Structure formats: structure tokens, C-alpha cells
Amino acid sequence: MLVLPLTTIFLAVSVPATAGVGVIDGGRLLAQLAAHNQAREHRLLQFSETRTYNVISAGGDVQAAERVLVEYRAPGRKTFSTTFAAGSRAIRSLVFRHLMEIEAATAGGPEQQDSAITPANYYFRFLGEDRVDGRKSYAVEAIPRRNDKYLFDGKVWIDAEDTAVVKIAARPARNPSFWIKHVDFVRTYQKINGFWLPLRDVTTVELRMYGPKVLTVDHRNYVLNYDVTESGR
């Protein structure tokens, strides 16, 4: 699950879809998502969530677990406080801690720009209309412009009404760590107070020395502080 740094990038404030979105063009959809990122950055002042990481063996045993309080404060500061940890200390260090460090680094500054879903980082190719949790969406292929550990290669679903990312199924564009041989992930989103926020990540990962594992990340108990004035929209 090496794209967790994109948590702050994929938050998308719900605003009416702009005129012309019915003309399904990958470049146009990508530009609209970039506009949503800017709108979110102006509105989202602070949030917190309870996040639970689990690594599960091929046999279904939980080999490592960690519960973390995640706090974000604009502009671009994210902190992680562990409230519970169990299981393999090595896996927690090599996987969980590594993910948190990358996510903190990409919450702001140049790394944020390098990981954002923007025309500078991706091409979009329209695949067709679909439905996600009963809502009309557009499915696109996201093609990274460069071989970068902060980018991914795969499929993205965009809500047709809100023009927001609601699901991703992909893999990192570049292997992010020597200890990780292969990664495929699916991330789903939930809508809270007009913002689309991560709900669950399920990642199939093959670790050197540890073999195939499933990494799950559950996002719960969001508390948002955001600008509700017209100037913040």
C-alpha cells in the first residue's frame, strides 16, 4: 500500500460538475480533478481520523497491527500517533512506519506536487461509464508520466456528479522499497460533509523474507474543520 501518501491529494470537495463534463475526455477530467484539489486545499483547514493497519498472512493470521491517530493541519502538515501496536515489530517498522514517513513527507512541499493527480504527473484515458456504490462514475486509466515511487499506474473511478475520485485499483509506478517485491492495491472512498475521504485500502504485497501478505488500512472517525463560507468554496 505504497500510495498512502496520496491520502491528502485525493480529498475532493464536492462542487457541481462543470459544464461539458458529458464530453468524456481524459484530459478534461484530469484538469477538473486538479481544480478540485485546489478547492479542497482552500477549504480543508484540519482533520483527524483513526486509522488501523493490519498485515495478514496467506493463512488469514494477523501478523502485525497498529492503530494510529492521524492529524492533518493546513498547509501540508500531517502527524501520526500510535495508540496500539501488536505483532511483528519488523513488519511494523518496514511497512507501517515506512508508509507513515512517506505520507508525512508528501503532505506538503515539492513532494505533494510530485504525487498529485495533475496533468503534470498523469495522462487519463477514458474507459467508459460505471457505477460505484450505486452512483454514476467514469472509469479512466491513469498513466503516470514518469517512473516515480510517488505515482501509480492503474484504474480510477470518478464520481460523475461531484467529479471526485471514489475508487482506485492500481500499483506503484516504481517499486517503493527494496523490502517490497510486488504491490497491487484497491482504495475506496466515502463522502463526509461534502468531502470524499479514504475509507479502506486493501493491498496484496510480497515482502522479501516474509512472502505474500495482505495489508489492510481502515479509515474511521473523521473529524473535519473546514471553511464553510462562500469565499472558501
For 16-27, the pLDDT digits (tens) are 333 333 447 888
Position 179 confidence tier, pLDDT thresholds 50, 70, 90: low
**pTM of the entire predicted model:** 0.84
Q: Highest-confidence range of 51-55, 59-63, 90-94, by mean pLDDT?
A: 51-55
CATH architecture assignment, domain 4-232: Clam (2.50)
Higher pLDDT, 14 or 129: 129
Asked if the model's pLDDT at residue 6 lies above 70, the reply is no
* Percent of the chain whose predicted confidence (pLDDT) is above 70: 85
Q: Please, which pLDDT band fits residue 3 given cuts at 50, 70 and 90?
A: very low
Q: Are 104 and 6 in contact (CB under 8 A)?
A: no
Q: Is residue 72's pLDDT more than 70?
A: yes
Average pLDDT for residues 76-82, to the nearest whole number?
Answer: 93
pLDDT greater than 90 at residue 58: no
pLDDT at position 178, please? Answer: 66
Please say if the pLDDT value at position 48 is more than 50: yes
Question: Average pLDDT for residues 193-222, to the nearest whole number?
Answer: 89
pLDDT at 83: 97
Residue 131 has pLDDT above 70, yes or no: yes
